[in-house]
Structures are given as C-alpha cells and as structure tokens.
Structure 1
C-alpha cells in the first residue's frame, strides 16, 4: 500500500500547470493585521525601518492566514476584521497584447485587489477560486512617474482581505469552525495570450458494465478583446499516456463557449478507489496573439445510489468508508502548504479511506487532485451552514459559490456529490426562521446543481424538513456521543434509512483528548438514557447542563472512542443496505464555539491530532479498512496503567490479520483468531496480570505467511492516590535547541494521580519561546491533563528561561532552563 501511494503521489507531482505561463507568488509579501486609512497608505513613499513610519508591516510568505495562532489562543477571541497584503511584481508578459492575471485559489472572506491606487476588482466568498485581470491597471500605472522613480519599474499590488462578521454572508459565524481570513491558499501570477482558455469541461461517462464510454469536451474561452480566427487542438491520452484522440477545431467567432469534441471510447479503463485510472485532456489554442495550452485529468466511472439500497460503483456494491476534512492545521490554521495537504491525504489513504466529505466548503484544488489520484470519492459542498436564510445578497452568494464549485471541480472523477448545505435547521442569525423559505431556496439550489451537472447527486446533512428535496440525505445520528449509547447505532440507522429514498450517514464518532486513557471507559453509558433517539440536539455540544450524555458526562478518553468506533465498524459489516458512512472528522480542528474543551477552542473528534499525530482510533479504522497486514497494541501513548495487585487487565490488539499471539514480559498469553463480530478488538484481546513496575508487551500477528509485530512498554501502578495536591515540573527530553517539559500531578503523599483531569497553564519568561497555540495536546499552554500529566515544548534560542505551570488550588511551580 505504501509503495502504491508513493507512486501515485509522484505521478501527481508531475502534473502540468493549469496555465501556459504561471508562477506561485509565495515570497516577498508584507502583511498588516488591521485596516488602512486608504490605499495610499500601502503605496506612499516610505523608508523601511523609519520609526515614524506607521503602521508597521511584517514580512510573510504565502499561503498565510490572519489566524494562524489566535484561532486556538485560550485567552482571546480570534481576530475577525480586515488585513492587508502588499508586494511588488516584476511583470514580464511574453505575449503581444497578452493578459496579466492574478489567480486566487481561495482567500477569506471578502477580498479587494489594487494596482497602485487603482481598485481592480473584489470577490466575496472565502473558498472558491477567482481571478483578477490586472492588465489594464498595469498599463495605466506604467505611464506614471511613480512606476519609474518610486517603484523602479515594478508594479505595486495590494490586497485587502476581510473576515469580519457579516450576517449576509455565508458561512454563518454560528458554524462549528473558524471563518478564517487571509490569503490562505496559493496566489498565482498568470500570463496568457489575448485569446486563451478559461475553463475546460470534460465529461466522461460509461455504462454500468464498463464497456461503452463517451468523452465530450467543451471550452470556455477568455477573449476580452473579442478576437476571431483561431484553431483549437484537443489531444486525449489514456492512463498509459497513449494518444487515443487528436482533433482540431476552427474557431471563427467571438462566442465564449465552444464544443470541441465528443467521441466513443470502447472499454475505457475505469476509475475506482483501487485503481484510480486517469485520462489526460489537453487543449491548445493558437491565434495571432499566441499559443495557450490547458490540461485536465478525467476518469470513467459509473456510480449509483440505489433507491432503498446500497451504493454501486462500476456495477458492483461499494461500501463507502469515509471521513471528513477541514482546511486547518497546527501553527498555520487554513494556510496549509501543498506538502501538508499531501501528508494528510496520504494518511487518510493509509487508514483505508475510500470516501471523504469536504466540510463545509469548497476546498483547495490540491485536495481534489489528490482525491483523483489516490482514489478517494468526494462529497463537496457550499458553505451554507447554520443560521437560517439571509436575503438577496446572501442567496446570490450561495448560488454563485455553487456555480463556481461545480464548474471549477467539474472534471474531477472523484466527485460524486454536490452538497447544498449543512445543518440548515439551525436558527438564530435572523429574527425569523421560515422553514418554507428555506425549502424554496433549497429547491433552487438543487435545480441549479442539476442544471450545471446532470451526472452528480445532490445531498444535505441534518435538515429533516428538506430531506425530500435532494437526491441523497444524511440525518443526524450520534449514537453513544450526543445521544443514546453506541449499541443503538444499527437500529437508529435503519430507522432513518426507512424514512428517505437514498440514505448516507455522514458525521459520527465523538471527541477524545489525545493521550488520555481509561481503565473503565464505558462507565458513562450507565447514566445515559436509551431508546430516545441518537440525534444531535441544540446544546448537546456544551459541557454544561441538559440531559446525561457521553459528550458531557464521559471521560473523553481515547479508550472510549476506540470502543465506539470499533462497534460502529463491526456493525457496518452486517448492514447490506448501507451505502456507507463518514466519521467526523479525520483531524482535530479549531472552532470558536468550544472554549471549554480539554484543548480550548478545539473540536477533538479527529483520529489524528491537528499536527497529524495519530491517535489510537486511527488503527481501529485501519484494522477494518486495509488489507496490508498490520497490528497495533492499544496504548502506545498510555505510559502507566493502574489497578490492584494481581488484577487482570484487558490488552487489546487492533489488526487485520487472521490471528495474533500476545507476549507479556516474554510469556505467551496464547493465540487468538480474528473475528470482526467479536467485540471488542475483533476477538484479539487478552486478560493479563501486569507486574508492578515496568512491563513489556509484544504481539506477533499473521496473515497467511506474512507476520507483523508491535511492541510497547507500560508501567503498572498499584499504589492508590487521593486528590491532586501538588505539581512536579521537569525536563523530559532535549533535541537540539528544543526541550520538552512535563508537569505531573501528585497527591499529598507524592503518588501520581493517574486519573486527574485538572486544568494546567504553562508560562515562560526569558530568552526562550514556548511552542504554543498549536491546538494539540502537547502544544497548548492551557490544557486539561491526560492521566495526570501534560507536556509542552520550548525553543531555548540559545539562552536561559524560566518555565512555570499553575493550576487552581495548587502552588505554582517553576523550572530553570
């Protein structure tokens, strides 16, 4: 599997650029996180370093997000307001009468573009792509004295981004994710001839048997000067790069949309998660203004959500094994680099994912390209999320973003669903909440989607009064977290399945505080009411008040979430009518509506942390969803277990192998056969008597003739403790100039309090810098301890520092570094 993924990623890296002459503008930017009095303040003559020069700009690289750190700062609300970027471009367009264009892959949330003091264009919407043709503004600026004297032949470009709260803009600020600001996706400088291709639309269709295919290609031209007389050559290559079609079309009009070709493909090589085979479509337009080439990838696949039945791909049932993604990462927020995105999607594929819902907005073109090449089916949606329904400006934006999403991602074979909304039954942005008006607008979006693309399905999640409008519906089912217990999952799903024509369950799972483990993880289930539904209701995300529920009353341990996920996955194997599910989400992400979570302002439902550190649940999925032999002993991040002397403790192994043998301190505890229906851990569990002190665990798992192993060390504490009374702060490791420190909570007798969940807050003074505001269990200065301890790292900067930690009711302690 790893070799296959590496080959696929290498092939993706070599994909040609979208435009003929295109470069990413990553460097030489300055940023100001506030507003200006006017555009003149960005371009007026100034002397760098002059103390009287205000405001002060900072040097940044793109992509860049206003909220790289403050999105998870425990002490402030994240910044929402205007910010400015500026740079100077050395413009050298190689085409006579060519166009110079800035291509934005996404910027949040309202953006204005200036050349010197001229406002060129604006865009509202933080997630779709858009362009700014700056040709005319450049030509006008070149005639000024400032061009030659002040800017020495370079072109000053200033960009204002604004993520201020605005009820008449989607998504709603009630959404369970940050509405980020900034140039947080790539910005490209593009040179084109006066006549070029703006978009290529390639439609590949095939019958259920995969024998008869058809490929049609249309182009939308960019022709601001209304030129005529050109030739367009289209070349089609199969996945082995063999040319299968070459056709030339004469263009003798000023029409923008042109039909280029349509031809039959006999027995096309099919795209699927196992073999994501991609055809290449290349169109070259030649005119007196120059030559321009655009390349796209397409795939032949046939899919169907069977009414009252499963999901079919290329004529065979496929259980959609899915997850979700937010564009969010430790230390950078939305400003993820291409390398970060590749690492994330590679991990998903290694976990066994074949489906993803991109929540809750159009995402980076890099992600869609990776889904195509890795073989991950996609539900992508517009950010109409919570809050009700606004007026004309609001609705026009939603329609515009739906149109942009479909047209910009039309060619991706991975996409099977266009999502029209999320939790649109959530009121409070406006005085009134009119279900009929929401239904009317949902119908408009549904009709628009089918008009723009007849080949994909439409869907929404959690808005029961609109369930009949879209092709596929996902209700709210959170068995074992927000309502009910996880053993109710199968019946709750069947009940919802029977209410709609086509059912797909997206969003399930629960929060887990990474590194927190429990000897009795299911304790909270005993107080949770059963039989009352498994949906999510108003206020359920709160840690205060309301009915008993695991989300409020549970221990937030990785141990519990592994049990919940294990149960869901074993049940999904016995639901032949199920189209599939998508666990929410793959990676922890920041949110403004959860300040009281164990990591403040973090949604902690991921199976990896915000920096891609794997939680234990990752391996539960892998044991069900992958074929490459694997075995994982639960508890790699659980250094100390506890209990009575002589007490037997359960050791679980998550594996996809046929059988496994466990060794503890060199002694075999026997071989177990894997049976997915033997909960928990598919029967790969042992009752083990730990020795007080250190214990070494090893598993040998076999799949046919292949054997894999896993080993961990765990201490066992039999000494009992009382309530935490003091803290001990110590240095635990150093790597170069970076040290990691750990606080331990102990009782009055100096015994480790292994079930403590107290809040602690780290501090630092001196030359060093705390690696903080990462939104991870080991990168947050304010955090709930996990099993009585917490860690954080510090860059010493070759100097001296004093670290501290405080917690209510205990004496603050310090450590000299």
Structure 2
C-alpha cells in the first residue's frame, strides 16, 4: 500500500507528546482487556496541527516549531463577528480566520499491548470536508464528506504496545471547477464550512467476529417498529455480523429490548454462520407485550436495544447497546403529524452546529445547552440543517421527545460553471452522504423524515450571494429522483422530504423555476414574506395555493423569519424602508415572527413549522445588521447566550411556563418621551408600572402580546416593571430606559428609517407617529445579505438621516406640549426632475408650505433642502399633513422643538 516518504515518517516519530496526557489515555484503555468484547480508546489530546502544504512531500520541510498542539474536536477556522462593542465578544475582526484549504494533524499514541490479535478501527465522527489518513506511514484511506462518521480498518498498520504515528490531511477548500472539493457536497450555501477534525476521534478494538463497523459508519444494527397494537408491538432488528478471520465462524446472536427498569421486555436468539472475510445478516422479530410507546415530548419513553454475539461456550464476543423508542409516525396532508395515532404540534427551529469562538468544534455539553434552551422555548421539533449533525443532538432529541428532520448537504447547487449535469463523482458523493445519514441515524426514534436537499429550485434566479452559475439552467430532477429512490430502498418506512425556496414565488424577475417539491413524499417551504419580499400578510394565501397544488402531499414550513440585532432598535417596526436592508432592528425581527406565527398557527394542514433560525450562525456571504459574516436570523445570538425578543414571544405562545418579557429592554437610551410598551406574556392578567405608577392591567393578551400605547417617560431614568398573575404567584420582568433632557424637549424624527441614522449634532429617533405613506431610501435596496452602497447627499451634515424618507399622502401626529413650537422639515429629492413632484404641508390645519417642488427648490436631486415654521400645538399634538398635488409628497426628517 502507498506509504508516506521515510523522511516524513522520521519527522513524525521525532515529535514529543505530552507524556502525562499519553499515559492517561493509555491507562484508561488498559483498564479494558483483550477479554472484553469491545475496547474503545479516545484520541483526544496531544495532537499537533499545521495549516499548510498540499502534499505530504512538501510537509517534510516544515520545522516542528511551526506546528501547534491542539485537542480534538478542533477547527482552524473562526468565522463571523459583531461589529459593535468588540470587547464583549469572543470573535473580533482581528482574530477571525476564514481561510479554507489543507490542514495537517498528527498524533503519537501508544495502544495497550493486550489488544494484540484484535481488529482495530480508527473512528472519525467527522472531518471537514475531505480526510486522508495514514497510520505509521500506511495509507488507510480517504473519506469525502464533512459531516458523517467514518471508520478505517487499522488492524494491519497498528502496533499494539508501541508508539504509533497517526497523520491526517483535512481539506476544506471552497469548491470550484478543478478544485479538490469540486465533487464534494455542499458546493455552496448560506453557511460557512469550517475545516478540521471538529468531532471526536477514537480507536475501536473488536474480536475477529463482530458487529459490522465498516457499514457507512453505522452500528451494524438496524431496528424498526413494524406493528403496534394495544396488546403488543413487533420490532424488527437487522444485525450485520462481520467475520475478519480466515475461517468460517458460527455465533449466537441475541437481540433484546430492555425496559427502563432493566427488565427484558422482549428477546430472540438465533445462530449466525459467517464465511471468512465476509458479512452475514441476522434478522430478529422481537415481540414486546404491552409496549410503552415513545410519545414525543409528552412521554419520550426509551427502551435499550441490546444486540450480543456469543461463542458456543457463551463467551461474549461483541455487544452493541443503543436507546430505542417504539413508535409509529403518520403524516396527514390535512391534519398534520400523528405519533402513535395522536396528533403532535411540531413547533420547530432550524439548527446550525457552529457557535462563536468554537465554530463547529463544539462539545456535547454545548449541544446539550442548545437543546435545553430550545426546549425551554417550547420547541418540539428540530430541522438539522443543512447537513448531517452528530450523535449528541440526536440522542438528546430521543431522550426529550423532539421530532427531527435530517438532511444531506445538497444545497442550492449541484453543478459548477456552465455544466448542465452533475459529474458522476458528485452524484456518487450525494449517494454516499445519504447512505451515511440513514445508516448512522436509522435507530433514532426522533428522526421522522430524510431530506434530500435544500433550495435547489432557484432555477436561473440563484442569488449571487451563494454563487450564481452564470445563467445555466441545469435540471435537478434526475439527481433528486435518484436520491429519493435510494432513500426509500434504505428505509422504506420513513418518508422523504426536501425544502424549496421558489415554487410559485421565483426570487428573480422572469426566472424559470424547476418544480422539485413533487419529487418527495413530504415537502417543506422556505418562505420569507415581509423580509426578502412582499408582506407578511401574503404568506397565508401563498401557502394555501401550494397546498391546493398538491393536496395529497403533507407540507411543512421549513424556514421563515428575519434578521435582528440586539444593539439596533426601532421606535416603530413599521417605519422602515426595505426591511432586509441594513440595519436590522430587533423590533422588526419580532414583528415578522409575530405576523408569521399568526398565520402559521391557523394552518392545520401544516405538519410542522420550523422558524429560521435558533441561533445566529457564521456565513461569509453576509454583511448585515451589527455583524460581519453572520446570518443574523437567529433568535439567540451567535455566542448562544442572549435570547432576542422573539425567543420570548414563542415561549409565551408555545409553553405553559409563566412568561413575562418586556420587549426592547436593551433599547435603553430612548429617542422620544412617548413610547409604546410591548410585553410578551401568557399570564391571565398582566400589569405595567412605570416609575412605580400603574399604567394599566391587560387580561389574556391576544397571541400573548400586551401593548400599552403612548406611555409617557420622564427625563432621566424610567423604571419599567411588567408583572403577570399566575396560579403560583406573580412573575415579573423589569428594565430601565433613559430619556435625555434634549429628547424630552425635542422630537426629532428620521422619516422612513427603521433605525435612526447617526447625526453629529442631534439624536434622532426612527420613523414613528405617522399615518399612511411608504418608507424609502435614496440608497435603494441592498443585495441579499449585503448593505446598500451609501449615496452622497449635498448640503447636509447628517447624510444618514437625509437618506431615508416617507412618501405618498401621509400625516404625522407628534406629541407636544400645548403652545408654540418651531418646526424644521428636511427634504431630499431622490431622482425626479423639477415639476414632477409638487405638494403642500399643513400644520394643525394651516397650510405652512405651498406647492413645494423639492428638486426645483434644492437645485436638483440628492441635495438637502429645509423649511422652517412655527405651529401652535393643541390637545398635546402637532399634526403635520403632507398632501400631494402631483406625484407623492416626501419628507426626510421632522424636528419639533
């Protein structure tokens, strides 16, 4: 077999590991003996890493000083950072590393001497995205795919009781024509592909005959519930027995289901004879009387499935033990998902596996914390996107009764350049990754569907931010149909699915969209009404239309939501222009979720809804909100610590946990002396106090949203207290908002702005107090995931304020003390010529500006122009009406002093 050059091997052998770590790992394994059925040795510590040369030959010249010592899980990448308050974040502009390419790992380790004569397998829980492995200079193999477990037979190359050198080349090069990864999925996507050995590595020792460890990373055991009745259930278990010896062997195969009390609930024994160097299968049909069913979050009861191989003398040869839930799932196209005949409301989230500071190299305790945070919010389902996730999240979902959507990384593209068909190698890689997904997650009761793709129906409207292919229009259907058939062959019981972006809603004008949703048993719709396009109210009719198109196909909504930053705030979520532009107010993210959920909860034909996303995640296609290279649609921040306001909206709606949450708590420096206070509460009665004064009590707030309008703040600190009445007592939330003396006296409105623009001289608030009109910006919309380029505006020291506007026929009702107030209006003509826009302005019924032609008065477009006048406020209000006579009226800023 191919070997690493001798000089490189000498270099490896000269490396010195930390002796204490090495002895600890060896001693831990020594406690197991060769008499044990199976021995596992963790290879966690003492690795050396270098990001560097393409080939092993080039690596020879690299001095030891250029390598660093690391522990596995490990990634060399760090992607995405928040731009504000860098000292409070882990990732910064200075420490991110988004370089993709080849990384090298090497480890010196000593396995115990008493495993001599056993089979050995190196197990990698994942390596991104191509891994090539040598042991003591012998090439063991290459694995192509960054998300699945794989094992390599290391028996011939291993030296028990002596120091061994393990070398791994890992390549996460960005796919391109002619690149090393051109045929490895995913080719693109709105997420960053980290490099490294980012999940655990271990060494497994078995007897010559054992449950198969070379079957696509599986346990070698496949179990499924074939029938359930009141008196009993039937569970079929298929076990693959491998014989790596040179002689035929016969073993006793014992299959058991053990209940939570340790009692055998059902079992079957049979003999299995396996020829030399081959695999034989044993199939057991285990009857369980009066089964305790896995009933989702209501009762996630788990048995333990135990499969044992024993010799004629009853000596244990091998053993696999995994949790198993007895359940049957049915999807109804009109009524949703049924688990063991009972309807289940699937309140779901999408989930990416990275986090700030760790990337993909998280620990099981990190995943457990994520899952606990989801459950606290009331999540009952998780869409594991857009690739195979590790075992920890699956085990937790089994334990806690969450239903899981599993997915392979066929995302957006399946060809490169102008190719109209995928290469044979890419098709095989897609098949391989689907085989691995199903083989490794087959036994999890939480997994209810296999997804064969995400958003591969862009057609020729694929956004440039994920890699436009130059206008070619390859057909995804042949590959999808091939994968769909394979999934059914591998698992006839679970339905297939995929997620679409564009059916009946192409994302580019005139785009041709392939209809992919009809390929699979189920379908999922990723739809962003009110964010990327249209209005939130358009979501319901669109979903109804999709349902009418294929009324017999169960459907889910698999993505919806909006971006949001906890440091960017709005006084009115409806005041902004082009919502997907930057900046992204936390309040607008809340608004989109409120509006979408109001629609989704009334669609009984949806078998599940999965908001996008549980956590902010790394994506080097984006520069938005307060972040660089982060997709900000999470309802929890990238460090997985701070819950954004929408999190509490769902907690109030999806759980019975007493919940009271004041929105905009982090909007501490207020722009206006009058504000609406919004509270998410599932209390029967919710009260609001400001500075100790009761503002009011609301009962059973619709959709758990309590709103107190026009609450007056005072200069200085304002203590906001919301309290909910529950059976076990009061639950409170409190925050403190500050109002400056200037904001108390002056109302400065940045018209058309969702988040107020910066001004050197004054503190503007975002657009509010308006009735009618639409918001706009002279900068125009930004690209998807990118900010618009700023436009130069003459004659202003506050270009960000001047750049947005409200247009149409509209009115502002500005709170103000009775008496005389100076008013300053700022106008900017975006593009029209003189004579094309003419309007009047009325103040409390009196015409104060007549026949204004902004382009003529300012001397042309993109030039600021101001008008000043005084108005007498009556009944605590200054009313400004903008009435067009030709075209639309327009205003960029209002100052009531």
Are 1:277 and 2:308 matched, yes or no?
no
Q: Distance in 2 between matches of 1:312 and 1:246?
A: 28
Matching residue of 1:343: 369
Matching residue of 1:422: 454
Q: Which moved more, 1:572-581 or 1:625-634?
A: 572-581
Residue of structure 2 aligned with 1:560, choices 566, 584, 588:
588
Matching residue of 1:128: 148
Change in CA separation of 1:213 and 1:366 when aligned onto 2, cut-off 3 Å: same
Q: How does 1:271-350 map to 2 (within 5 A)?
A: 271=294, 272-287=296-311, 291-350=317-376
Q: What is the CA-CA distance between 1:718 and the residue it aligns to?
A: 5.3
Residue of structure 1 aligned with 2:739, choices 701, 712, 716:
716
Q: TM-score, normalised by structure 1?
A: 0.77
Residue of structure 2 aligned with 1:443, choices 481, 486, 494:
481
Change in CA separation of 1:19 and 1:443 when aligned onto 2, cut-off 3 Å: farther
Residue of structure 1 aligned with 2:48, choices 27, 30, 34:
30
Matching residue of 1:242: 263
Matched residue SS, 2:622: coil
Q: What is the CA-CA distance between 1:208 and the residue it aligns to?
A: 7.6
Show structure 1 runs of 5+ residues with no match: 1-16, 45-51, 143-151, 528-548, 724-743, 757-786, 789-817
Matching residue of 2:139: 119
Q: How does 1:138-217 map to 2 (within 5 A)?
A: 138-139=158-159, 153-167=162-176, 168-198=182-212, 199-205=219-225, 212-217=232-237
Q: What is the CA-CA distance between 1:41 and the residue it aligns to?
A: 4.4
Matching residue of 1:362: 388
Q: Distance in 2 between matches of 1:108 and 1:453?
A: 26
Change in CA separation of 1:93 and 1:128 when aligned onto 2, cut-off 3 Å: farther
Q: Distance in 2 between matches of 1:676 and 1:211?
A: 44
Q: How does 1:235-634 map to 2 (within 5 A)?
A: 235-254=256-275, 256-271=279-294, 272-287=296-311, 291-389=317-415, 390-426=422-458, 433=472, 435-436=474-475, 438-462=476-500, 464=503, 465-500=515-550, 501-524=553-576, 549-552=578-581, 555-595=583-623, 598-612=626-640, 613-634=642-663
Asked if 1 retains the 8 angstrom alpha-carbon contact of 2:403 and 2:447, the reply is yes
Change in CA separation of 1:388 and 1:283 when aligned onto 2, cut-off 3 Å: closer
Are 1:106 and 2:126 matched, yes or no?
yes
Q: What is the CA-CA distance between 1:707 and the residue it aligns to?
A: 2.6
Q: Distance in 2 between matches of 1:29 and 1:722?
A: 61
Q: What is the CA-CA distance between 1:442 and the residue it aligns to?
A: 0.8
Q: Which moved more, 1:171-180 or 1:345-354?
A: 171-180
Q: What is the CA-CA distance between 1:55 and the residue it aligns to?
A: 6.4
Residue of structure 1 aligned with 2:76, choices 63, 66, 80:
66
1:621-680 alpha-carbon deviations (Å, 9 max, x no partner):
101111121211112322222214xx3x21111122222111111111222112435xxx
Mark the structure with the bigger radius of gyration.
Answer: 2
Change in CA separation of 1:676 and 1:572 when aligned onto 2, cut-off 3 Å: farther
Residue of structure 2 aligned with 1:53, choices 44, 63, 68:
63
Q: Distance in 2 between matches of 1:597 and 1:746?
A: 15
Q: What is the CA-CA distance between 1:319 and the residue it aligns to?
A: 2.2
Matched residue SS, 2:717: strand
Asked if 1 retains the 8 angstrom alpha-carbon contact of 2:49 and 2:70, the reply is yes
Q: TM-score, normalised by structure 2?
A: 0.70
Asked if 2 retains the 8 angstrom alpha-carbon contact of 1:170 and 1:383, the reply is no
Matched residue SS, 1:489: helix
Asked if 1 retains the 8 angstrom alpha-carbon contact of 2:38 and 2:318, the reply is yes
Q: Which moved more, 1:288-297 or 1:347-356?
A: 288-297
Change in CA separation of 1:130 and 1:70 when aligned onto 2, cut-off 3 Å: same
Matching residue of 2:86: none
Are 1:91 and 2:111 matched, yes or no?
yes
Asked if 2 retains the 8 angstrom alpha-carbon contact of 1:584 and 1:606, the reply is yes
Change in CA separation of 1:722 and 1:186 when aligned onto 2, cut-off 3 Å: farther
Q: Distance in 1 between matches of 2:412 and 2:231?
A: 44
Matching residue of 1:697: 720
Q: What is the CA-CA distance between 1:69 and the residue it aligns to?
A: 5.0
Q: Distance in 1 between matches of 2:531 and 2:229?
A: 42
Q: What is the CA-CA distance between 1:498 and the residue it aligns to?
A: 1.8
Asked if 2 retains the 8 angstrom alpha-carbon contact of 1:587 and 1:610, the reply is yes
Q: Distance in 1 between matches of 2:209 and 2:396?
A: 30
Q: What is the CA-CA distance between 1:747 and the residue it aligns to?
A: 5.6
Matched residue SS, 1:324: strand
Q: Distance in 1 between matches of 2:65 and 2:557?
A: 50
Q: How does 1:218-233 map to 2 (within 5 A)?
A: 218-225=238-245, 227-233=248-254
Asked if 1 retains the 8 angstrom alpha-carbon contact of 2:453 and 2:498, the reply is yes
Asked if 1 retains the 8 angstrom alpha-carbon contact of 2:571 and 2:765, the reply is no
Q: Distance in 1 between matches of 2:341 and 2:57?
A: 58
Asked if 1 retains the 8 angstrom alpha-carbon contact of 2:672 and 2:765, the reply is no
Change in CA separation of 1:420 and 1:69 when aligned onto 2, cut-off 3 Å: closer
Asked if 2 retains the 8 angstrom alpha-carbon contact of 1:585 and 1:606, the reply is yes
Change in CA separation of 1:257 and 1:752 when aligned onto 2, cut-off 3 Å: farther
Q: Distance in 2 between matches of 1:353 and 1:205?
A: 25
Matched residue SS, 1:559: helix
Asked if 1 retains the 8 angstrom alpha-carbon contact of 2:573 and 2:587, the reply is yes
Q: What is the CA-CA distance between 1:439 and the residue it aligns to?
A: 0.9
Matched residue SS, 1:347: helix
Asked if 1 retains the 8 angstrom alpha-carbon contact of 2:537 and 2:595, the reply is yes
Q: Distance in 1 between matches of 2:262 and 2:352?
A: 34
Q: Which moved more, 1:314-323 or 1:303-312?
A: 303-312
Q: What is the CA-CA distance between 1:80 and the residue it aligns to?
A: 1.3
Q: What is the CA-CA distance between 1:70 and the residue it aligns to?
A: 7.4
1:493-548 alpha-carbon deviations (Å, 9 max, x no partner):
22222222221111100101122221012113xx6xxxxxxxxxxxxxxxxxxxxx
Q: What is the CA-CA distance between 1:159 and the residue it aligns to?
A: 0.6
Q: Distance in 2 between matches of 1:245 and 1:318?
A: 28
Matched residue SS, 1:153: coil
Q: Distance in 2 between matches of 1:83 and 1:708?
A: 52
1:179-237 alpha-carbon deviations (Å, 9 max, x no partner):
22100111112121121113243434266876642111111223222551222222211
Change in CA separation of 1:594 and 1:745 when aligned onto 2, cut-off 3 Å: closer
Change in CA separation of 1:172 and 1:35 when aligned onto 2, cut-off 3 Å: same
Change in CA separation of 1:684 and 1:197 when aligned onto 2, cut-off 3 Å: farther
Q: What is the alpha-carbon root mean square deviation over aligned residues?
A: 3.1
Q: Distance in 2 between matches of 1:61 and 1:596?
A: 33
Report how many residues are paired: 672
Change in CA separation of 1:575 and 1:328 when aligned onto 2, cut-off 3 Å: same
Matched residue SS, 2:300: coil
Matching residue of 2:823: none
Matching residue of 2:38: 20
Relative CO higher for 1 or 2, CA cutoff 8 Å, sep ≥ 6?
Answer: 1
Q: What is the CA-CA distance between 1:290 and the residue it aligns to?
A: 6.2
